[in-house]
Amino acid sequence: MRYLKQPVVSTINSHLIDYPTPINIHYAWNFGFLAFVCLAIQILTGVFLAMHYTPHVDLAFYSVEHIIRDVNYGWLLRYAHSNAASIFFIVVYIHIFRGLYYGSYLPPRHYTWIIGVLILFLMIATAFIGYVLPWGQMSLWGATVITNLVSAVPIVGNSIVTWLWGGYSVDNATLNRFFSLHYLLPFIIAAIAFVHIIALHYKGSGNPLGVDSSVDKVVIYPYFIIKDFFGLVVFLLVYSLFIYFFPNVLGHPDNYIEANPIVTPTHIVPEWYFLPFYAILRSIPHKLGGVLAMIISIGILFFLPWICSNEIRSSIFRPIYRKLFWLLLAVLVILGWVGSKPVEEPYVFVGQLASLFYFMYFLIFIPFLGKLEKFLLNFKGM
């Protein structure tokens, strides 16, 4: 067919129709597609919200209320955007943990993994500055607390904080630059996401068994395209449930109070998807140490392809690692719970224990557990 020789048509055909896919992948592989859907929703709703938003400390809070109350379907845009942010992180976290469980970070797909971690960092930055824009109480004080962490940098920390703020406190200059960055970063994320997909398709998708499946493959259409769209329908049902019935359940009630620099909230917390990292930050009593621990807790994902020494990819064949993996998920839930609580006992102690296990998992279990499992297998075979 002549039209298949057209460059654009040929590219679409090779990546969306004839792309060879391992025959045994299951619904855990849907979440990459769903993450891309979430990104598209965020960009589309964000562009329309920006048309009515006013980045000024005296008007920002009321411009958001104006969008919800006065703009046609503004409530839908606002709640679609705010809830999609939370659901975006849920989808991406599941996508990451699927990669951890099945060893997707190992060569030859390690560059795909590294690009994905870079996207996670940009998502965190975008979500943080976006949380400031509604200019509620938690927006103002969350921005004040988090940006103040930079002051822990020796010698130049305070100067960097002043530069970030554009003054001597979180004020109008801060809000303006955060709005500009929040509008720009999603397009950068989208560009890197395309690179992420290209890197994946260059080496081919992994599979639950973690073995070479270069022979046992089928074209992605119609088998897996249909599976992706079934996952999309389920995703949209859950997403709609939040938008139409529980639009504010994932937000903090203090953020529906206009920002007041004179009144400090009783307990300042970030959004729920940052709580585990916030708990790690608070678990170390030294400010600079806490900041470094928080950065390392995410940055360590970059080095997993080189940290791991195991020859077996998938946790299906690693019973000890599989139990530790589910224990890691439980520990992250505990860290999220601790991060939402005041800085007092017993939460501090529980957070320190959970943080210790988190770092042991990545710095001890992943590098050395493979050797122990290999020894045990050889011992049983003797």
pLDDT of amino acid 367: 86
Cβ within 8 Å of residue 55, ≥6 positions away: 133, 175, 176, 178, 179
For the purposes of burial, counting CB atoms within 10 Å of the CB of 339, is it exposed (0-12), middle (13-18) or buried (19 or more)? buried
Catalytic residue (choose from 201, 287, 341, 374): 201
Domain 269-376 CATH assignment equals 2.40.10.10: no
Q: State the binding site for a ubiquinone.
A: 201
Per-residue pLDDT, 382: 52
Q: With cut-offs at 50, 70 and 90, classify the pLDDT of residue 27.
A: very high
pLDDT for res 193: 96
Instruction: In the chain, list all ranges with CATH 1.20.810.10.
Output: 16-136+170-259
Predicted confidence (pLDDT) per residue in 283-313, tens digit: 998 889 999 999 999 999 999 999 887 777 7
The active-site residue out of 63, 139, 254, 271 is: 271
Active site residue 258: no
By the 8 A CB rule, do 340 and 278 touch? no
**Per-residue model confidence (pLDDT) at position 2:** 52
Distances (CA, A) of 200 to 60, 110, 205, 206, 221: 41, 10, 6, 9, 17
Closest CA to 123 of 36, 235, 31: 36
User: Annotated catalytic residue: which of 205, 213, 283, 297?
Assistant: 205
Question: What global pTM score does this model have?
Answer: 0.93
pLDDT digits (tens, 9 = 90+) for 61-105: 999 999 999 999 999 999 999 999 999 999 999 999 999 999 889
What pLDDT is attached to residue 233? 97
Residue 381's pLDDT band (cuts 50, 70, 90): low
Coil, strand or helix at 13: helix
Cite the annotated binding site for heme b by residue number: 81, 95, 182, 196
pLDDT tens column, 317-360: 888 889 999 999 999 999 999 999 988 889 999 999 999 999 99
Q: Which of 82, 104, 213, 227 is catalytic?
A: 227
Among residues 15, 52, 66, 228, the one annotated as catalytic is 228
Collapsing DSSP to helix, strand or coil, 369 comes out as helix
User: Exposed e or buried b for every residue in 133-161, given b needs 16+ CB within 10 A?
Assistant: bbbbbbbbbbbbebbbbbbbeeeebeeeb
Which pLDDT does position 97 carry in this prediction? Answer: 95
Are 36 and 239 contacting, i.e. CB atoms less than 8 angstroms apart? no
Tell how far CA 371 is from the center of its chain: 31
Q: Is 297 a catalytic residue?
A: no
Report the pLDDT value the prediction gives residue 314, as an integer from 0 to 100. 81
Q: What is the CATH number of domain 16-136+170-259?
A: 1.20.810.10
Contact partners, residue 47, CB within 8 Å, separation at least 6:
none
Q: According to CATH, where is 1.10.287.980 located in the chain?
A: 269-376
9-18, 116-125, 265-274, 361-370: least confidently modelled range:
9-18
34-68: pLDDT as tens digits: 999 999 999 999 999 999 999 999 999 999 999 99
**Any catalytic annotation for residue 205?**
yes
Q: What amino acid is encoded at 363 in this protein? A: L
254 catalytic, yes or no? no
pLDDT at 287: 87
Comparison of pLDDT for 266 and 304, the residue scoring more? 304
pLDDT of residue 5 exceeding 60, the answer is: no
pLDDT of 209: 85
pLDDT at residue 54, as a whole number: 96
Q: What pLDDT sits at residue 378?
A: 62
Q: Which residue has the higher pLDDT, 176 or 107?
A: 176
